[in-house]
Amino acid sequence: MNITRKWAATKQRAIEILIRLKRLYPEADCTLNYQTPVQLLVATILSAQCTDERVNQVTPELFRRFPDAQAIAHAEIEELEQLIRSTGFYRNKAKNIQGACRAIVEKHNHQVPKRMELLVELPGVARKTANVVLANAYGINQGVTVDTHVKRLSNRLGLTENTDPVKIERDLIRLLPQEDWENWSIRLIYHGRAVCTAKKPACDRCELADLCPAADLSLLSNVLG
């Protein structure tokens, strides 16, 4: 197959996967709890190397004590550290959320910026966090969020051969409609948790198996009899 035809086939497969993911996971909401863009930014920074469930356990008290960028900017760092301790890497995260909030207050008039290039200048914010915030707080699909699940599944599904998240994002951007960039990531994360786990993908009950080059065919043939 020449490169153009191969690319067209991959794109068609990506669209079919997207359609099935929408059917399988009709709700594609961000699973972090927040009330404002600043709170979403903070929760997303906390979610690095941590589950959303754990983050949702610490943010009610964190946001009760420090509800906005101004309050976090002026908090005692030791108190911030204790409030977020159970999310791991708490010293670094406390420093980053306070640094980000100080920049938001001092440079951005208390508002989380709506532009990728300004967001990634904030401490603790890389493209992944910026994509989550832009899409969920502002409805701006500027990129595809690539976390560990999206990275693993995009590779298994043969939608990219890259391992670097920035390059994977670039490949997915070319394959998917822009309005679906963020909900793609959320749904792929659901699928990665429920079916295509890192340790043991359950190909025998995966609804994407016929579209997936990494499907374990021995499992499938067992199921098919």
Whether residue 128 lies in the annotated active site: yes
CB 192, CB 149: distance < 8 Å = yes
Buried b or exposed e, range 158-188, using 16+ CB within 10 angstroms: ebbebeebeebbebbeebbeeebbbbbbbbb
Exactly one of 99, 161, 214, 223 binds ligand SF4 (CB under 6 A); that residue is 214
| Residue 41 in the binding site for ligand SF4 (CB under 6 A) | no
175-204 residues in contact with ligand SF4 (CB under 6 A) are 195-196, 201-203
CB of 212 to ligand SF4, least distance (A): 3
| Identified catalytic residue from 93, 128, 151, 171 | 128
Closer residue to ligand SF4 in complex, CB, 73/186:
186
Binding ligand SF4 by CB under 6 A: which of 156, 162, 173, 190?
156
Taking phi over 0 as left and psi of -120 to 50 as alpha, with beta for the rest, 76 belongs to beta
Task: Please name every residue paired with 201 in a beta bridge, in sequence order, or none if there are none.
Answer: 196
Please say which residue, 70 or 155, places its beta carbon nearer to ligand SF4.
Answer: 155
The minimum distance between CB 30 and ligand SF4, in angstroms, equals 22
CA angle, 181 then 187 then 191, to 5°: 140
Contacts for 160 with CB less than 8 Å, ≥ 6 apart? 154, 167, 168, 171, 172
What residue ranges bind ligand SF4 (CB under 6 A)?
Answer: 153, 156-157, 195-196, 201-203, 206, 208-209, 212, 214-215
Q: Which residues fall in the annotated binding site for [4Fe-4S] cluster?
A: 196, 203, 206, 212
